[in-house]
Amino acid sequence: MHGKDVKLKRILENGKTVIVPMDHGASNGPIAGIEEIDSAVSKVSNATAIILHKGMIQKIAVPRCGVIMHLSASTSLSPEPNRKVLVGSVREALALGCDGVSVHVNLGSEFEAEMLSSLGEVSAECEELQMPLLAMMYVRGKNVASFDPDAIALSARVAAELGADIVKCPFTGDVETFKKVVRGCGVPVVVAGGPKMGSDLEVLKLAEDAIRSGAAGTSIGRNVFQHANPTAMVEALRAVVIGRKRAEEAISLLSNSATQETLNATALSQRR
């Protein structure tokens, strides 16, 4: 077993994963849900992995879930917010004890070549140091729709071709077209959560459709850490992604009167 495989087992639980990205502060500042990062992380440590930038990783207590260090950044104040640049390295992630790194790429943007070059550089370093790589692939150009199934399939395959171990991309809108994305990728695919959704059931149905499509799981941020009970939301997502429950069944975990502490204790006992 290679070192990368050992780390991947921290992120993928029996081949499935519920990731909670919490790197939003680098682009939008201290938004609701992640103002106090240590407290925010403690509420979602029943996920299989979280995503943070290096500065926040240094501030949190060691969670029981996997930790992925995000290496890309840009801010909402930039005149070029779609231009993601590298702000960290694989060696820094290793020094912090992380289980993986992630890189953001916007295909179709005028900065595509620069971001693909960065992805290639990080991929080579990940292979050398045996660090799992998650590629966040988005289609954001003037001449292509962001949710075009063919473009999303292309973006996922590009990530796999360049060495990503896990690919994160938006859902295409239906199971059949997303099956083509998954089949054509060749490495585990996780579905991005996107903007805040209208209901919990909508979030869980997204997860259910992702699993029906053959995806490895979800990478959902705002719809988890901005939830009234992030711990329960993670458990509901785990029920769909890992437990293969339907969204309508998993929603009961959110209406249950159990306290957050009880949910945490149950999740911990199931992992022992």
Catalytic residue among 23, 99, 165, 209: 23
93-114 per-position pLDDT tens digit: 999 999 999 999 999 999 999 9
Measured distance CA(130)–CA(119) in Å, rounded: 15
Active-site position among 43, 54, 84, 138: 138
Q: Does residue 23 carry a catalytic annotation?
A: yes
- Where does 61-111 have alpha helices with state H? 90-95
What is the bridge-based pairing of β-strands 49-52 and 166-169?
A: unpaired
CATH classification of the domain holding 86: 3.20.20.70
Residue 258 has pLDDT above 70, yes or no: no
Averaged over 117-142, what is the pLDDT? 96
Looking at 7, 84, 168, 245, which residue is catalytic? 168
**Run of H or E residues at 167:** strand 166-169
Q: 248 pLDDT exceeds 50? A: yes
C-alpha distance from residue 44 to each of 11, 39, 41, 174 (Å):
14, 9, 5, 28
State yes or no: pLDDT of 268 exceeds 70.
Answer: no
Residues 15-46 have pLDDT tens digits of 999 999 999 999 999 999 999 999 999 999 99
Identify whether the C-beta of residue 70 lies closer than 8 Å to the C-beta of residue 51.
yes
Active site residue 168: yes
Whole-number average pLDDT of the chain: 92
The pLDDT > 70 percentage for the chain reads 94
User: Amino acid identity, residue 71?
Assistant: L
What pLDDT does residue 1 have?
60
For the chain, how many structural domains are there in total? 1
For residue 53, the enclosing domain spans: 3-271
